[in-house]
Every structure is written in structure tokens, then in C-alpha cells.
Chain A
């Protein structure tokens, strides 16, 4: 099983629909992140959480909300999807020092298309 699991992997929806992307991890890390990736742009941070009681906005949080249900679970919601939210979404956890750095472990991604 993957260390960081995202569901769904692919989703096509219509404008105005509510969408939830789920993320669960088995790495035991406290820090979790949601990013979106668009062609030609770097990964952009939507929300992040350093523990169950901690939620922080990233650079592009408008139109999104998150819930940290447990240490292992961090879900991203689009309350009313719009076409410019069409993107590849990644969940990531942070921890486990490698070469002296806390590195990110990413899920496989959730490709969302909003028509």
C-alpha cells in the first residue's frame, strides 16, 4: 500500500458541484499539505496543517476548504467548483529526515476536471 493515498484519482464534475478530495497517510507524519499543479506553473500551496488542531492557508486558498479529521487524514473540498479549478491536485506529508532535511512524500495525485 502507498504511504500517501489520494482518492479519487480522477474526477470529472460540473460547475457548481461540491467536490471532496481525500488524503490518508501511513507515515505517521504530523505535517500535511495540499498543492495544485498546472502546466507551466510550479506547485502551488492551497492549505497546510502541522497537526490535527492546526490549519493554515496557503497562497491560493480562495475557493477551497480543508478538514484534518485525524493525524492520518486531510481532505480538500471545493464548495462550488469552477472550470479554473481544473488541475492536478497533490497531497503530501512532511517528515522523516533524509540527508538532514525533512522531505515531502507525495500522493499519486487527483486529476480534477470541472466542465
Chain B
């Protein structure tokens, strides 16, 4: 079966750096997405990786290793507003998105 694994919950301190990991086993690969979801709100797009390597976008970066079935989302200079769930999703060979359960990130002052 297809599977996306990410930690259920992480805690970090304001101003620090946190890395959220995502491992996947899917039928084919056509890109990996990270979405941010604040409590009770809609998910919003953060980043996309289809080739190996690091994609940087301001305080957020996302890394992909297709051979290892692994990605991470790196958040720098954490702010209280970064408290949210972060969803990893992989598009498989049938163009379907397979979603992880999400990682709830708690930021402490």
C-alpha cells in the first residue's frame, strides 16, 4: 500500500529552527508538496519538490531525496504564527495526491 509518515507533533522555541521529516512509499512519484494548516482553517500551499535537492523560500526550505523516499521541511527564525500543522503529500504515478496525517508544530515563547 501507499504510505506517508511524519511525526505527529513537535515542539520548538520561538526564534529557533525546526526540521519536520516526511518519508513516503508510493506507487510512482510525480512531486512532493508541503501545506500549512492552522487549526480550523484550510490547508495552504507552502512548497513543491520534484527534483532532488533543496528549495528555499524565505524562512522555509524543503528538501527531497527521491532515492531515499524522504523529504523535510525546514523552518527558520520561528515565529508564534508558525504554530500550525504541516502536511506532506506525494503525487503518485496515477496523479493522485497521497497525504500524510500532518505534523502539529507547537511554538513556545
**Bound state CA distance, A106 and B33, in angstroms?**
14
In the complex, the answer to whether B48 meets A106 with C-beta atoms within 8 Å is no
Binds A, one of B11-19, B66-74, B76-84, B94-102: B94-102
- Which residues of A, 69-115, contact B by the 8 Å Cβ criterion? 90, 98-101, 103-109
On chain B, the residues within 8 Å of A40 by CB distance are 8, 101
Q: Is the contact region of chain B dominated by helix, strand, or loop, or is it mixed? A: strand
Most buried by A among B40, B48, B98, B100: B48
Residue of A nearest to B43 (CB): A106
In the complex, the answer to whether B96 meets A106 with C-beta atoms within 8 Å is no
Given known contacts A42-B87, A42-B99, A43-B87, is B42 in contact with A101 (CB within 8 Å)?
A: no
Q: How large is the interface on A (under 10, 10 to 19, 20 to 34, 35 or more residues)?
A: 10 to 19
| Shortest Cβ gap from A11 to chain B (Å) | 15
In the complex, the answer to whether A42 meets B102 with C-beta atoms within 8 Å is yes
**Bound state CA distance, A44 and B102, in angstroms?**
12
In the complex, the answer to whether A41 meets B48 with C-beta atoms within 8 Å is no
Which residue of the partner chain, among B43, B45, B101, contacts A41 with CB atoms under 8 Å?
B101
Report which A residues bind B (CB closer than 8 A).
Answer: 40-45, 90, 98-101, 103-109
